[in-house]
Amino acid sequence: MSVKDMMLALCVVVAWGVNFVVIKLGLQGMPPFLLAGLRFSLVAFPAIFFVKRPQIPLRWLVVYGMTISFGQFAFLFLAIKLGMPAGLASLVLQAQAFFTLLLGALLLAEKLRWNHIVGILVATLGMFMLATAGMEGQTTAGITLTTMMLTLAAALSWGLGNITNKIILRNRKVPVMSLVVWSALVPVGPFFACSWWFDGEAAMVSSLMGISLQTVLALIYLAFVATIVGYAIWGNLLSRYETWRVAPLSLLVPVVGILSAALVLDETLSAQEVLGASVIILGLLVNVFGGMVSQRFLVRT
């Protein structure tokens, strides 16, 4: 990978890591479902007038939009609104990698390797440590079992979206931006409906009429920087390089998320949370690099 492309990849990693802090800031002035609905409205419009609709069956476009967009961000935004630390949210959400592997084995008959199984077990131990830290009050960041489960539900939704994406791309080539922009239309209605149902019309109107500059800037960042620009660059890199060169860089997202949350939001972690987070990162590393390390070891021996 060239130096220029490496820098572009790192820029995307930073944008996605800071994304969680921006979500936290945006939610300070707006209900979660309304913020998410506006975010995806900005992703879809006016881009759909310039980006061609993906040539896939409508049902798969809807399934993709409802899983990777609606499900993921409905649970994530709600978890962060209820107190899930932005930094830890960026880490726990990476459980999507394990959910994707398990769903691939269950629904697509894909084989799990030893490093996948060990990685899942190690990361699960880390998740348990974070959850028990919240339940036992050994936390300085406000994590609870509820917010932990909501974030894991977001990761599961992301995993379901990944499996849907695999099915969509099996026999056809679909431009990344086409799928991102047009699938963003799918969750807009459900998000606004959920906001009306749970928050009420008065709260929605009040939030929109009194929208702050901070919320506006958060929406611009979430829609254009983290989504459109981020996915455009990432998709371009994946199209020009092997997946193994690009995908592992996403492991830096939670590192950026935790550091930016500490700097901007003053989030701190207890000793047990630091240990739990470290164990999760270890599980992710085993999952991504375990197979390559074992192969090189076997070759040398």
Question: Does residue 31 have a cis bond before it (omega within 30 degrees)?
Answer: no
164, 107 contact by CB (below 8 A): no
Q: What distance in Å separates the CA atoms of residue 142 and residue 84, rounded to the nearest whole number? A: 7
pLDDT of residue 143: 80
Nearest-angstrom CA–CA distance, 253 and 265: 17
Cα–Cα distance for residue pair 93/257, rounded to 1 Å:
11
pLDDT value at residue 287: 85
Which tokens go with 43?
């992703």
Contacts of 32 (CB under 8 A, 6+ apart): 74, 77, 78, 80, 81
Predicted local confidence at residue 244, as pLDDT: 59
Query: How far is Cα 123 from Cα 101, in angstroms, rounded to an integer?
Result: 13
Judged by DSSP in three states, 56 sits in: coil
Residue 187: partners with Cβ closer than 8 Å, 6 or more residues away: 36, 37, 40, 65, 66, 69, 70, 73, 74
How many other C-beta atoms lie within 10 A of the C-beta of residue 245?
Answer: 15
Question: What gap in Å lies between CA 18 and CA 298, rounded to an integer?
Answer: 39
pLDDT the model gives residue 163? 93
Across the 301 residues of the chain, what is the mean pLDDT of every consecutive 10-residue run?
88 95 96 97 94 93 96 97 93 92 91 89 89 62 84 96 89 88 96 96 94 96 94 84 74 92 90 87 86 59 55
User: Rounded to two decimals, what is the model's pTM?
Assistant: 0.91
Tokens of residue 300, six digits: 């040398």
137: left (phi over 0), alpha (psi -120 to 50) or beta: left
Question: If you search the block for the tokens 């099996």, which residue do you land on?
Answer: 170
Domain ranges of the chain: 3-299
Residue recorded with tokens 């991504």: 288
- pLDDT for the residue numbered 297: 56
Would you state the structure tokens that stand for residue 139, as one six-digit string? 């936390």
Residue 77 CA to residue 75 CA, distance in Å, equals: 6
Closest by CA position to 183, among listed 98, 270, 56, 290: 56
